Each structure stands twice: as structure tokens, then as C-alpha cells.
Structure 1
């Protein structure tokens, strides 16, 4: 007998969880730089076009698939067609791989939240981060010793992941997001309000939003816009399919997709204002251009900003605490969604209880994450993250669009979501899923491969890229195919027929 599926306690709980998954570290440290370096205000044109033509259509597709077939990605695809089960396993495995190194970044953020109280990073924030804190080795093949503060942070995050998902969908995930997400938004608003009143803030904001209309015609800018939207919304990672499978029979799919996408975009925009206001202040105090201090990723979060907080004096400590609280909270809501996407697939496949599966997933994931707490951890993260995102996730998104759009039939998903939503989507959605999104994602994959051939990623040796990049992508595919060969605990589970709402 199939065990009763978990369900959200309310629609608001589902929306907050979906937004919490979408709002992650990339919203704070990636989007502001992408906006700035791709035409400023002019970038908003391809960005919103990408949301409407790819982001929302794919989100509706994943919400619709999960809700229609009431299952995790492997189960949902298997119920659509038994031959497609492997396509559901691949994003679930990718989510697990991402989770193992995502906890490393969250460990850094937790440590820096502590450092910000005394501004322990000193004057040379670059040397402090790489040498004093991470104790980086000079090669990904040299592990070095364990970095105990990083190890401790990873342990804390995994315990939190385990506890929340162990408590279930409504009792754990929903309750956590109802607390963390509003707190995150309030903290970011405080940063923005104070940031825009800092001396020189206008330098950063003018640089950020001054439109460079010539870049609107640059294909690379459009690819950057689609890439930002695709990765920011947690698409093709199994998360949205999993979350929507916990929705009740009658729910509003179409409106939920629009709400999630625009709430995520709103937070990205808010973050950009705060980040560049502070960078403008930094540029003015140093007497240099904003382009000299603007950066993204770990460079922004753990090197540039700590330097700013030091220059600010007393108020810099408050800014530091608020900023790293934002990073920790944004990261936790995303890491919880990654645990759930991985666990839900195994729960459906094995018929085992949630508590047992979540405990196993967290134990195995924690064991792998420990390797990242060595002196080579940053190398592993950098290479694996690039290959999973550039090839694994993009390829899954392409295959999902082709499989659902062409083989299963886009109209079937559209008819399902329209029957239960407050407003209907038209045939334009079919065009997006069947043509526009596959074309864009195909171009992204080809561009990534060409760039990889011309210039290997990050200046790493081919040996390192094969060992920690290509091999991880291939491992995801192989594990997906192996898991397909294993029988479902409930052999009748994949013959389930969705109940259409009349």
C-alpha cells in the first residue's frame, strides 16, 4: 500500500517555500554583477523577456507535472511514461551533488557572521579569506589538513537540514520558510535603506542602472539573462516538481508560478540596490571607479564587503551582521529544498519512511561534504559547480522541455493547470516550451562547450577538470540509469493516473 503523501498546510506555505528555494546566494552576489556588467538598466529588457519566455513557462511546466502526477521527479516522469524515469533521477542526483558543496558556502557565511562581530578579517581581507581562513593548498590534488571552523559550520548546516526535513513538509519546511523568508527580506530592506544614504552611494547606483543600449543587441547579454533566470528560479533541479507534488488537488498553479518568479526577481532587484549602494560608498572612500571594486561570487561576499564593513567603522559591524544573516538565511532555505528534492525521490522509490530516508541522505551528504572542509575544498566547489550548472542542469532543462513539450504533449500540462487556476494561459505557453526555451538552452550548451575547448575553465589542468568536472556530470547520468533498473517498492505506483479536476 502506498504511504500517504505529505501536503502543504497552506498555499502560502508552498509559495514561501518555492520562493525560499529560488532566493539563494546567487540573488545576493551574482545578480547585481550580472546586471551591472551586461548593460545596466538596459539588461532589464532581456531579463524580463527571459522571465516571460522561459522562466515562468518552465516553472508552470514543472509545477504542472509535479501536481498532475503527484510524485517526485522520477515518479512523475515514470507516471507520464515509464521510459522517462531516468530523466527524473538526473535532476534529483544533481540536487544532491549541489547540496554537498552548497553547505560549504553556508559554512563560510556562518563563520563570517561570527567574524563580523569583531571584524576578525583585519585589513587584508583577501589574504585572510584564502590563507588564514581557508588555508588553501596550491592544487586540487593536494587536500592539506581539515579546516576545523569550516568543518564545524558544515556540521551545523547538515544538522539543520536534517532536523527541518525530518519534521516533514508542513511541520518543518513550511514553518522554517515562514520565519526565515520574511526575516531575510526585512534584513535586506534595512541594508538597502542605510546603503542608499551612505556618502557616494549614488556612484554605485548610477553605474548599476545607467543603460548601455548597445548591449541589448549583443547575443551574449541575452544568454546571460536566460542563464540568470534559469539558475535563479531553481529550474531543472527537481525542486519545483517535488514541491508542487505536495499541493492539494485544487490549487492555483499558474498564478503561483508568476508569484514565485516575480517575488524572486523583486528580491534580486532589491539586493542589487543594496550591493551597489555600498560598492559606491567603497569606491568614493578609496577614490577609484566603481568598476575597480565591483565583483561577484565569493569575491564580493567574503573579500570586498568585509573590506567595506571595516572602512565603515562602528556601523560596519551592524552591516556585517545583517549581510551575513542574509547570506545564511537565503542559503538555508535553498539547501532545505535540495535535501527535499533528493529525499522525496528515494521515498517514492523505496517506500521507506521519510525519517529514515532523510537521515540516510543527510548522513551520506555530510560524509561527502567533509572533503570540502580540507584545504582543497574551494577547488572542488569551483570546478564541480561550473560543470553541474553549465552542463548537467542546462541539459536537464533542455530534455525536460523536449520531453514534455513534444513527446508527452505541452497541451496536456496546460489543460491541467488551466483547469485548476484562477486564470488560464494561452497557446503562447506551448510555443515557449516547445521552441523558444529549447533553442535558448541548446545555444547555451553549445556556447559552454565551445568556450571550454577554447579556454579550459578557470585555468585548471585538463586532469583536474576531468577528475572533478566531467566525471561528476557523467556520474549523475550513470546513477540515473542504474536507479531506473531498480524496481519500485510498490510495483503499481507508476501506473497511477492523474485525476483531472472537473
Structure 2
């Protein structure tokens, strides 16, 4: 079934795609990955990963989505009806990412509101555990973290409000507002951070190259993992958005614009993050290595501590940072939600508004379950499993399906027709051979890490997710489409 919806311009598509790419990973993960994986020398595997994974695979997704102009599940079904179940598995995994992503956004919303009065007090870690994110103590699952619970309802309401409209009036319009605002806010934060006393301490620590680490395979795997995570490669997001593109779109040119923008943003943000960490080291004497962390620890514990000692300027920077994270998170969440929305819309023949409403109710219900006193612990478990086991396995499977079963020669003319930069034999070689091999190696390393550290509770969560995803995938793939 051809998509009825369409971006009103390539600009809307670009802002939406940049919104997907520029998310939490750029702000709270990239700088940590650089610092712990060779500093300045990390940029060599980082650029190689962009060239061998990020750009080629996004070109593939843009081409497939633009050519078929269908949802991901319908595309797989068109190639071979037996492949539809694989598509539903990926779409459901992406929907699960949306569910816990909204919980993280609710944490940020709580901190955004708290940043006006510095409600976190002098003990930022205690505030996060008792008010927002909870602990890993399973007995704490018996109560809800009310601020986070309310935040989840609000964030899902925002997602529904934007997604229930046609893509251009909803996602397109929101992206054209939020992405420029995000870049302005982060620009102000970064420029100010670079002027802080001690900023040079952080930047030197970030960029100090450790050339010998280039011989460590883990550094290269970290680079490829960062690119996949940051650009949402292979999660059907880019493919779905590209299916709404108008004719005459310059597909490969658009890929390069999105990838370049994403890289510039996360590199500049890393400079800002480490400048602020350097300031903390300079003023408090706390060794920088004790401050460097990723994810929730950096944003919700370390940064509130730093804002506390900044004085009046901290009162300005804190709301700006949490607002920037909210904007980055909302635009990414819209992209994560769209494959499930598009596929369900095509399969069941419901209106976009009805599909969005029902999926948001379901998603919000499951997100609310994740707002108990073990919120951050269970979000971490689901995040690790879905990404290290599920998504990372399905990306090379897609490369094999599109590269070998369907055939890339069908897509190349579409990619090259209007694009300034053409693809050919080298691109085919990467998609058919290099991408699957690298991705399977990444998956194996991830599996070993995932299960070697897992306890009984975590493995139980893994099993529940696996059974649920497989069960619903079988159900949807056997159900006849509304248009048949």
C-alpha cells in the first residue's frame, strides 16, 4: 500500500532526520566513549565507522524507503512474505525503545522543572534515587516515583499531539521548530563552557591521544557501536521517513548532510561537556576521572553538582541544558515511534489518528510500569537487551536481505538519479560483505558482555521481552493486511 503522506519539502525531511540522529546519545554518551577509547586517537576509527557503516547503511535505508514508499513491514512482505515476521520483530523492538525512552525523557522533564529552584539540593545522587530514577533494590518496585509517573504521561501526550497529525504538519513542523532551537541552546552552552576557568583541563583530557589503543579491537567496536547508536542505523527510522519523500529527492546528498550535522553536533557537545567537567576539577579539586561518566550519571548527578557551584550562571545553564535534552529527546522519540505507527497503520488500515492514539495508550501504559522505585535499573536492563541482542542482530540480517535476496542493482538507479554523489560497486561491496561481518562481530561481543554479567532477574526480563516480541510478530505477520 503506497504511503498517502509526504513531506512538503526536503528541508522538512532533513530536519526530521537530524532530529532522529541528534538525541540523548550525542549529549551524554559520545564524550564518554571518546574519553575512554583513546581520546583524540578515537577519531580515526570513528571516521572509518562513518565511512563503512553510517553513510552506506543510511544510503541503503533512504533508497529502500524512497523506492517502495511503504512501511518497513510491507516492504519486507513485498520482497518475500516469509520475511514479514523479521520486519515486525525489528519494529516491535524499536517500539520498546520508544517505551523506555519516554521514561528517560520524563526524568529530564522532572529535572527541567527542578532546575528553576535547584530542588535536587546538595546531594544530587540521593535526589535522583529517591525522587526520579530509583535504585536497583527490587523491594523498591512496590511504589511509584510520582514525579516520573506524571512526567511519563506528559511526554506521551506530547508525542501523541505531534504524531497524530500528518507527517508534515506534525513531525515536520515540530522538527523545524525544535531542531533550530536545540542548536541555538547547545551553541550558547558550548561557547560559554569553553570560556570557563579550567576548561582546558577537560579538553586536554578529552583529546589526549593514546595511539597504542588503536591496536585494541574494542576501540574499533566502540566506534562502530557509537555510529550505529547515534545515527539509529538499521532501526527502520530512516527508511520510514524516506518513504515520505517527494520525487526528485537527492538521496545520497541528504545522507551526507544528516551524518555531517550529527557528527559536528556531538563533537562540539563533547567539547562543551568536558569544558564543564574541567571547570569542576579546577574549582573543586575533584579529579576529572571521578567525574567522567555516561548517561544518567553524567546528566542527572554530575551536572547538577556542577550547577550548584557555578553560582548565578548555573541558574541559567541548568534549565537550558535540560530543555535542550528535552528537544533532542522528543525529536528522536518521534522517529522511534514512526516505524510502529506506519506499519500498524498499513497492516490494520486504521486512520493515522486512531493508530497513534491506540499505540500511545499502549506505550504509555508500559512506560508507567517503568516508573516504580527501580525505574533506572529496569530501563538499563531493557536498553541493554534490546540494543545489544535485538537491534544489532537485525541490522546485518537486513543487509543480507537487501544486498543478496532483493538485490542492490534495483536500488542504485533510484539513488543516483537525482543525487550529486553516486554509488556503485564499492557501496555494494560494503553492504554485502563488510557491514554484515562487522555487525555480527559486534553482536557476538555484545551477547558475551550481556549474558556474562546478567543475574536471574535480568535474564527473566530478557525472556519476557523475547516471548512478547516473537508472539506479537507471529500474530501480525499472519494477519491479513487491511488492503488485501
In structure 2, what is the equivalent of residue 81 of structure 1? 80
In structure 1, what is the equivalent of residue 192 of structure 2? 194
Alignment partners' CA distance in 2, 1:37 and 1:115: 31
Query: Map of 1:53-452 to 2, 5 A cutoff?
Result: 53-136=52-135, 138-139=137-138, 142-452=140-450
Alignment partners' CA distance in 2, 1:325 and 1:430: 41
Is residue 33 of structure 2 the alignment partner of residue 34 of structure 1? yes
SS in 2 for 1:248: coil
Question: Any idea what the Cα deviations from partners look like across 1:82-102, whole Å, max 9, x if unmatched?
Answer: 222122212211111011111
SS in 2 for 1:167: coil
SS in 1 for 2:197: coil
Alignment partners' CA distance in 1, 2:108 and 2:117: 15
Q: Is the 8 A contact 2:21 2:230 kept in 1?
A: yes
Q: Is the 8 A contact 2:131 2:145 kept in 1?
A: no
Alignment partners' CA distance in 2, 1:135 and 1:402: 41
Q: Is the 8 A contact 1:14 1:174 kept in 2?
A: yes
How far residue 365 of structure 1 moved from its aligned partner, in angstroms, is 0.6
Say which is worse superposed, 405-414 or 352-361, in terms of deviation: 405-414
Question: Any idea what the Cα deviations from partners look like across 1:230-273, whole Å, max 9, x if unmatched?
Answer: 01111222211110110123211111111111111111111101
How far residue 3 of structure 1 moved from its aligned partner, in angstroms, is 7.5
After superposition, the CA RMSD in angstroms is 1.4
Superposition misfits of 4+ residues, deviation over 4 angstroms: none
Question: Any idea what the Cα deviations from partners look like across 1:135-158, whole Å, max 9, x if unmatched?
Answer: 54611x652212211111111111
Say which is worse superposed, 20-29 or 477-486, in terms of deviation: 477-486
How far residue 477 of structure 1 moved from its aligned partner, in angstroms, is 3.2
Alignment partners' CA distance in 2, 1:288 and 1:160: 39
Q: Is the 8 A contact 1:69 1:80 kept in 2?
A: no
- TM-score, normalised to structure 1, is 0.94
> Residue 267 and residue 474 in structure 1: after superposition, are their counterparts in 2 closer, same or farther (change >3 A)?
farther
How far residue 57 of structure 1 moved from its aligned partner, in angstroms, is 0.7
Question: Any idea what the Cα deviations from partners look like across 1:311-368, whole Å, max 9, x if unmatched?
Answer: 1011111110111011101000011112222110011111111111011110111111
- TM-score, normalised to structure 2, is 0.97
How far residue 198 of structure 1 moved from its aligned partner, in angstroms, is 0.5
Query: Map of 1:43-54 to 2, 5 A cutoff?
Result: 43-54=42-53
How far residue 434 of structure 1 moved from its aligned partner, in angstroms, is 0.9
> Residue 134 and residue 288 in structure 1: after superposition, are their counterparts in 2 closer, same or farther (change >3 A)?
closer
Structure 2 unaligned residues grouped into runs of 5+? none
Say which is worse superposed, 231-240 or 291-300, in terms of deviation: 231-240
Aligned length: 484
Alignment partners' CA distance in 1, 2:39 and 2:370: 35
In structure 1, what is the equivalent of residue 13 of structure 2? 14
How far residue 81 of structure 1 moved from its aligned partner, in angstroms, is 2.4
How far residue 209 of structure 1 moved from its aligned partner, in angstroms, is 0.9
Q: Is the 8 A contact 1:40 1:207 kept in 2?
A: yes
Query: Map of 1:472-483 to 2, 5 A cutoff?
Result: 472-483=465-476
SS in 2 for 1:143: helix
> Residue 420 and residue 79 in structure 1: after superposition, are their counterparts in 2 closer, same or farther (change >3 A)?
farther
> Residue 474 and residue 44 in structure 1: after superposition, are their counterparts in 2 closer, same or farther (change >3 A)?
farther
SS in 2 for 1:117: coil
Alignment partners' CA distance in 1, 2:282 and 2:142: 40
